[in-house]
Amino acid sequence: SQQGEEDPQALSIQEGENATMNCSYKTSINNLQWYRQNSGRGLVHLILIRSNEREKHSGRLRVTLDTSKKSSSLLITASRAADTASYFCATDRVGSARQLTFGSGTQLTVLP
């Protein structure tokens, strides 16, 4: 069964606004990662947060993790048209670090 579920499925915002995407998962995890996929391309790793961390920043990205709720959020601040892409969360289950399970993805469209 699918480990991660993202919402919203699609998000459309104006350039300069912030975009927030959420991910929920089902089992205990070691880490949670966010990946980005531009149309017609492969996935690119953005940021990783460990299960003992609550928040992490990287440039305009901010990730939070709530293991009690089994959920994570990805915030992109001051969005740009180039941020338009699909965003996926991926979890590796305890005892299975090499096997990532991906969520269903959020399609973000940033309008210029």
Q: Which of 15, 24 has the CB closer to other proteins? A: 24
Pairing of strands 106-111, 10-14: parallel
Q: Which of 9, 18 has the CB closer to other proteins? A: 9
Interface residue list for other proteins (CB under 8 A) = 2, 30-31, 33, 35, 37, 40-45, 48, 50, 86, 88, 92, 97-102, 104-105, 107
Which residue spans within the chain are E strands per DSSP? 5-7, 10-14, 19-24, 29-37, 43-50, 55-58, 61-66, 71-76, 85-93, 100-102, 106-111
Q: Which of 9, 14 has the CB closer to other proteins? A: 9
Q: Which two tokens stand for residue 96?
A: 């299975």
Q: Could you tell me the smallest distance in angstroms from the CB atom of residue 43 to other proteins? A: 4
